[in-house]
Amino acid sequence: MTKEKTLILLKPDAVQRGYIGNIVSRFENKGLKIVGMKMIHITSSLSKEHYAHLVSKPFYSDLEKFITSCPVVAMVLEGKEAVEVVRNICGPTNARKALAGTIRGDLSNSTSRNVIHASDSKETAEKEIPRFFKKEELFDYKLNEYYFYASDE
Ligand code: UDP
Ligand code: MG
């Protein structure tokens, strides 16, 4: 199984509510490798690009106002089947339906203030990572993977 990279955004509600450390810890604890991490303030045009599939929805104006209201923490995580693993750790979009133990299940009770974004497929991740990170902002450093995966996984 080859490793994948996926894009995460800790949204303005996660920053305002003091959940950055809580959420980052969950990914570290799972054994995902942090290969990029920074704080950015999303602009209106970046919001329209990132949420292009939602710009025509009635809730888009609230979404743009929210996502541009405060800086976010952007991260790139790497690991085997990282896209699916991370989406499962996040839980579904509607946090009220998210199981306890997931990030959204534990930290949110809302569809629109659901604390985290995560790429929804490998193809999406390949578009989203360069949207937020320059090549030189991603790091290819060594971890001793013997302690993370067996060699035949
Ligand atoms: N969103 C919202 N209301 C909705 C659906 C989505 O405010 O009815 C927001 C919410 O912040 C969500 C984001 O739009 O996380 C992106 O929606 P998507 O369907 O891509 O969900 P996600 O991939 O974040 O689970
Ligand atoms: Mg999505």
Give the Å distance between the CA of 18 and the centre of ligand 2: 23
Give the Å distance between the CA of 49 and the centre of ligand 1: 14
Q: Where are the domains of the chain?
A: 3-135
The pLDDT value given to residue 1: 77
Residues having CB within 6 Å of any atom of ligand 1: 54, 59, 63, 93, 111-112, 114, 117, 120
Q: Which residues contact 97 (CB under 8 A, 6 or more apart)?
A: 91
Q: Give the number of the atom of ligand 1 that is nearest the alpha carbon of residue 92.
A: 25
User: What CATH number does the domain located at 3-135 have?
Assistant: 3.30.70.141
Classify 14 as helix, strand or coil: helix
Q: CA angle, corner 150, sides to 146 and 153, nearest 5?
A: 135
Q: DSSP secondary-structure letter at 106?
A: H
The pLDDT value given to residue 2: 84
Q: Give the number of the atom of ligand 1 that is nearest the alpha carbon of residue 67.
A: 11
Max CA distance (Å), the chain: 48
Alpha helical stretches, state H, 31-90: 44-50, 60-67, 82-90
Q: What is the chain's length?
A: 153
E strand or H helix at 28: helix 20-30
Residuewise pLDDT in 10s, the chain (153 residues): 789 999 999 999 999 999 999 999 999 999 999 999 999 999 999 999 999 999 999 999 999 999 999 999 999 999 999 999 999 999 999 999 999 999 999 999 999 999 999 999 999 999 999 999 999 999 999 999 999 999 999
Catalytic-residue membership of 117: yes
User: Which residue carries 């303005």 as its tokens?
Assistant: 12
E strand or H helix at 70: none
Give the Å distance between the CA of 111 and the centre of ligand 1: 7
